[in-house]
Amino acid sequence: MTQELGSLARTVAVPYYEAALPAHDRFHAKRVRDLALRLANERENTVDRDVLAAAAWLHDIGRPRERVGEIDDHNDWGAAKSAELLTTESVTTDQINAVKHCIRTHSIRSSSPEPETLEAKLLFDADKLEAAGARGLIRLACIVGERSGRAGKQYAVIDDSSIFGMETSDLPDITLLREWAKERLNLLYTAPARRLGESRWRFMEEFFTQFEREIGVEGER
């Protein structure tokens, strides 16, 4: 193997994101890679940055196929496909197994195993932080859009209908984004991620306060 593992992973991963929607595309993968390495720089422990970067590039390659029903679980499929891709490039077995573990454990799904290595925890945290802060709000809105498109119907409402004297909707409202973000931030493993999560959550609280003012819950000032 002559190419750096992280760069190699990018090369083999990008084609799998061609059919991805914005919340899980190659730009998301790059942001997760960048954030994971940033978190790694704040750790005193030794981190295998090659494995971490490679896993970040590859962690969502199965998302487009899962979205259209071709596969059931993008975590397991992505781990297996990543191993196949890296094996053909003569990556060591230890590195491949480390990348597979990161990919299998990056999700918050109940079926996902717990991340055991530092690299897996950093990938998990970076991926969850992608749902917090300013960019996180936009990304969560994209995810709502993805689910709406898949369901073929409106998935969430924006306004609180009760303040207009209208019939209450049984669809999730804007608080869905708050709940999704908070759920992910509560699961973070590493201290650097929790510190960054607190900062991003403060911004989100300000956003939601302003949002409520604009729709008249407290009255705009």
pLDDT at 121 > cutoff 50: yes
pLDDT of amino acid 137? 93
For residue 181, the one-letter residue type is A
Average pLDDT over residues 93-118: 95
Query: What secondary structure letter does DSSP report for 187?
Result: T
Residues 57-94 pLDDT 10s: 999 999 999 988 999 999 999 999 999 999 988 899 99
Average pLDDT over residues 116-143: 95
Phi and psi angles of residue 168, each rounded to the nearest 5 degrees, phi first? -70, 135
Average pLDDT over residues 105-118: 93
Dist CA 18 CA 9 (whole Å): 15
Q: Which of 135, 105, 114 is nearest to 27 (CA)?
A: 135
Domains present along the chain, CATH in parentheses: 1-113 (1.10.3210.10), 131-221 (1.20.58)
**What integer best gives the mean pLDDT of the chain?**
87
In the chain, the N- to C-terminal Cα span, in Å, equals: 61
What confidence tier does 215 reach under pLDDT thresholds 50, 70, 90? confident
pLDDT of amino acid 219? 46
Q: What predicted TM-score, i.e. pTM, was given to this entire model? A: 0.88
From residue 79, alpha-carbon distances to 8, 191, 192 in Å are 16, 26, 26
Q: Which of 25, 7, 32 is nearest to 119 (CA)?
A: 32
**pLDDT: which is higher, 99 or 155:** 99
Residues 139-171 pLDDT 10s: 988 887 777 655 555 555 665 555 445 555 555
pLDDT of amino acid 2? 41
Residues 28-37 pLDDT 10s: 999 999 999 9
